[in-house]
Structure 1
Amino acid sequence: MISSITRPGGVSRRGAVHVRRATARDAKRLTRLVRTSSAYEGHYAAMVAGYRVGPDYIETHRVFAAVETGTDRLLGFYSLVLSPPELDLMFVADDAQGLGIGRLLIGHLRGEAGRAGLSGVRVVSHPPAEGFYRSMGALRTGMSAARPPAVMWDRPELLLPVGAPGEATDPGRGADPREG
């Protein structure tokens, strides 16, 4: 759990945060988070323009949401596919960037993957997010070629070790408000 964090100017951005399993009722909020992500502006916008995280996707995959305790405000989410092991989706709300939400989600993902017996998780990264994943201990393994018309650019492929040295697998530990 992360305590409230104060941004410059003294404005508290949120209270405590916890990660919970997403439900079908979260589908619209998850879809909105994907479609409005500033990480997918400009030439990346086409990739998420019609993207939908549907109730069926949430019910058949391991989708977890980081939410503000007490308000259930969505701050980010991820989806873990077990076979083959891959981080399918991960998004953090624009106004929650830099508050440790990404680090919290990666810690939670590592815990889930470890409980499932995985030693590593493949990440095909949005190019601007590669640095974040590498800061979490992911190792670059290659490039995933563009697949027009859905994906018009090559993307870094990484392997995120589940038991990386120095990284917490407990979702309540290791969340640095300056990261993620």
Structure 2
Amino acid sequence: MRSGITRRSGGVRREAVRIRRATARDAKRLTRLVRTSRAYEGPYAAMVAGYRVGPDYIEAHRVFAAVEPGSEQVLGFYSLVLQPPELDLLFVADDAQGLGVGRLLVGHLRGEAERAGLTGVRIVSHPPAEGFYRSVGARRTGTLAANPPAVMWDRPELLLPIT
């Protein structure tokens, strides 16, 4: 799938980005993307400090990566769980933020969800990402309470309609 991505100062072009199924060989790259995300600095750092996206996880779930052909640089990825329908992970590389990679991934997710016969996908959002999810059509349905020590803050719960 091609996208609408453009990076002005050398690098990503819209027509160059594609989404492909992640493979076990991507595990270290996806883990690094999660652990180094600036979105999880400060009080959120503990949540991803030891997080691992392993080959077993990639094999068990529908994990897709947005990549630059040629270099195969991972610009972002998502994981869709079908039962029950939920967006488990969605991360965009810090240097690809604001270029449309997240919207591209959500568009792809919608296609995957529709092909699987889903009518909606639950999203438990990182609090600072709620605005992004709402901007792509998700509706707030509630709040998931903090669950210390793993998660020390309440999180927005949303539903992304698939139609």
Runs of 4+ in 1 over 4 A off after TM superposition: none
Q: CA RMSD in A?
A: 1.0
Distance 2:69 2:162 in 1: 26
Gap regions ≥5 residues in structure 1: 164-180
1:4/1:12 contact within 8 Å kept: no
3-state SS in 2 of match to 1:5: coil
Distance 1:3 1:123 in 2: 24
Residue 70 (structure 1) shift: 1.8
1:80/1:87 contact within 8 Å kept: yes
Aligned to 1:94: 94
State the Cα deviation string for residues 74-93 of structure 1 (Å, max 9, x = none).
00000000000000000000
Aligned to 1:177: none
Distance 1:82 1:56 in 2: 16
3-state SS in 1 of match to 2:150: coil
State the Cα deviation string for residues 52-72 of structure 1 (Å, max 9, x = none).
000000000000000012211
Aligned to 1:107: 107
Q: Which amino acid aligns with 1:37?
A: S
Distance change in 2, residues 1:3/1:147 (3 Å): closer
Distance 1:86 1:3 in 2: 25
State the Cα deviation string for residues 105-155 of structure 1 (Å, max 9, x = none).
000000000000001000000000000000000000000011111100000
Aligned to 1:127: 127
3-state SS in 2 of match to 1:12: coil
Aligned to 1:22: 22
Aligned ranges 1:22-171 → 2 under 5 Å: 22-163=22-163
Distance 1:151 1:51 in 2: 13
Q: TM-score, normalised by structure 2?
A: 0.95
Highest relative contact order (Cα 8 Å, sep 6+), 1 or 2?
Answer: 1
3-state SS in 2 of match to 1:131: helix
Gap regions ≥5 residues in structure 2: none
3-state SS in 2 of match to 1:70: coil
Q: Percent identity?
A: 78
Aligned to 2:6: 5
Q: Which amino acid aligns with 1:5?
A: T
Aligned residues: 160
Q: TM-score, normalised by structure 1?
A: 0.87
Q: Which amino acid aligns with 2:74?
A: L
